[in-house]
């Protein structure tokens, strides 16, 4: 069977070159006589693998020396608790609510400190990013979700914070999709399964002065940033193979122009798809135009009857899969369809999707 175009929101498609390289090294990594899957994380064979991943990430994102890079486990969902446990100072944080994942982060943070909602787009079903967000002084930190996977929105102008309290962001679904200034954030975290690697490793980039000697009382050892920082992400066995693939993905990004190259690639794909949606009299995008994500494009048909729309969505998803365009079902909170077009998705996949959409529209008007 030939490879499909995988539009999954995550785990998502990986660069074919990376998969082929990993396949060639599966049973014997560079003459070691073993797979990376079998290696001790403390061996001389594995040490350069994790070092390479950190070095490449630092270079690609221009991460300053006063930031630590940690390779952790538990996904972004564990960071929802780890952030308040470790950044707790006075006991209050500001969160901006822009979607399902920010809502989950808020609910988790409330278990450990007081949370003020600085702005929210919930009343309009999260179809946009609030504008001109200003956060007053006095907070331990402020938190945003940089790209909203389910709703298909992204931040382009960061909130203003009165006293320079650290800005924390969940960048799981947009990390490396375009350049970002790391110094604008105190902490960036990202699950790997969208733009970085297979599921299993979570990248945390944290300014050193934010790592407390002692976190909130009762914080488990495994949820303490200092423990992982002091042990170079080796306090316990890290997700070794995922970090290995991460290194290869970072090398692929480097070969393809770095974050500037990814931005150009992603803007071209997104522009093509959004332009088609805007010109269509059969489909429409659901996110407000000024907030549209480069990574996740939710869309629906313009059928107004709910039952007919549901049947049409089901038919679209089924026929698309048969045509080699898979994982296009929208999230249940938005409905319709969603095309996730992360870094590894080639523009040929977007063109194939648009061609299918055009045919489907003609046959189902």
pLDDT digits (tens, 9 = 90+) for 32-43: 999 999 999 999
To the question of pTM greater than 0.85 for the whole model, the response is yes
Looking at the predicted structure, is the pLDDT value of residue 20 above 90? yes
Residue 145, SS3 per DSSP: strand
pLDDT on residue 365 = 86
Judge contact between 242 and 113, C-beta under 8 A.
no
Residue 31, SS3 per DSSP: coil
Q: Is the dihedral of CA 238, 240, 245, 249 positive or negative?
A: positive
Looking at the predicted structure, is the pLDDT value of residue 1 above 70? no
Closest CA to 364 of 290, 292, 270, 281: 281
pLDDT on residue 335 = 86
* % of residues, the chain, pLDDT over 70: 100
Q: How far apart are CA 307 and CA 169, in angstroms?
A: 38
Rg, the chain, Cα only: 21
Q: How far apart are CA 261 and CA 253, in angstroms?
A: 8
pLDDT on residue 334 = 85
> For residue 347, with 0-12 CB atoms within 10 Å meaning exposed, 13-18 middle and 19 or more buried, which class applies?
middle
Q: How far apart are CA 145 and CA 246, in angstroms?
A: 22
pLDDT digits (tens, 9 = 90+) for 51-70: 999 999 999 999 999 999 99
Q: How far apart are CA 99 and CA 147, in angstroms?
A: 9
Catalytic residue IDs? 101, 170, 194
* Cβ count near 60 (within 10 Å): 18
Judge contact between 262 and 61, C-beta under 8 A.
no
- Residue 301 belongs to what H/E stretch? strand 296-301
Judge contact between 249 and 198, C-beta under 8 A.
no
Residue 240: which pLDDT band, with cuts at 50, 70 and 90? Answer: very high
Q: How far apart are CA 299 and CA 82, in angstroms?
A: 34
Judge contact between 330 and 298, C-beta under 8 A.
yes
Burial 153-166 (b: 16+ CB within 10 A, else e): bbbeebbebeeebb
Q: What mean pLDDT, rounded, does the chain reach?
A: 97
Q: How far apart are CA 12 and CA 278, in angstroms?
A: 26
326: phi then psi, degrees, rounded to nearest 5: -110, 160
pLDDT digits (tens, 9 = 90+) for 125-182: 999 999 999 999 999 999 999 999 999 999 999 999 999 899 999 999 999 999 999 9
């Amino acid at each position: 069977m030939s490879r499909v175009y995988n539009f999954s929101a995550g785990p998502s498609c990986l660069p074919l070159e990376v998969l082929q390289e990993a396949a060639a090294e599966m049973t014997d990594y560079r003459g070691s006589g073993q797979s990376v899957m079998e290696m001790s994380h403390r061996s001389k064979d594995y040490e350069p693998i994790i070092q390479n991943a950190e070095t490449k990430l630092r270079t690609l994102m221009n991460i300053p020396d006063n930031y630590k890079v940690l390779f952790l486990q538990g996904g972004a969902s564990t960071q929802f608790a780890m952030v308040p446990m470790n950044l707790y100072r006075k006991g209050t944080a500001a969160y901006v609510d822009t979607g399902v994942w920010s809502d989950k982060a808020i609910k988790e943070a409330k278990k450990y400190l007081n949370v003020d909602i600085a702005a929210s787009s919930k009343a309009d079903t999260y179809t946009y990013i609030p504008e001109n967000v200003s956060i007053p002084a006095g907070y331990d930190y402020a938190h945003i979700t940089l790209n909203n996977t389910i709703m298909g929105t992204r931040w382009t102008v960061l909130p203003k914070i009165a006293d320079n309290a650290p800005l924390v962001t969940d960048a799981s679904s947009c990390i490396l999709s375009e350049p970002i200034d790391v110094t604008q954030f105190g902490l960036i975290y990202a699950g790997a399964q969208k733009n970085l690697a297979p599921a299993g490793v979570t990248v945390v980039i944290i300014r050193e002065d934010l790592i407390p000697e002692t976190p909130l009382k009762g914080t488990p050892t495994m949820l303490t940033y200092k423990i992982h920082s002091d042990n170079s992400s080796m306090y316990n066995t890290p997700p070794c193979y995922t970090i290995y693939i991460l290194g290869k993905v970072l090398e692929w990004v480097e070969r393809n122009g770095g974050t500037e190259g990814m931005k150009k690639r992603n803007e071209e794909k997104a522009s093509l798809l959004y332009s088609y949606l805007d010109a269509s009299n059969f489909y429409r995008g659901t996110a407000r135009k000024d907030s549209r994500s480069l990574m996740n494009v939710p869309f629906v048909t313009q059928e107004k009857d709910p039952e007919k729309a549901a049947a049409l969505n089901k038919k679209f998803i089924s026929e698309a899969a048969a045509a080699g365009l898979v994982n296009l079902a929208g999230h249940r909170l938005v409905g319709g369809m969603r095309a996730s077009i992360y870094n590894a998705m080639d523009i040929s996949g977007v063109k194939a999707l648009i061609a299918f959409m055009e045919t489907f529209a003609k046959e189902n008007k």
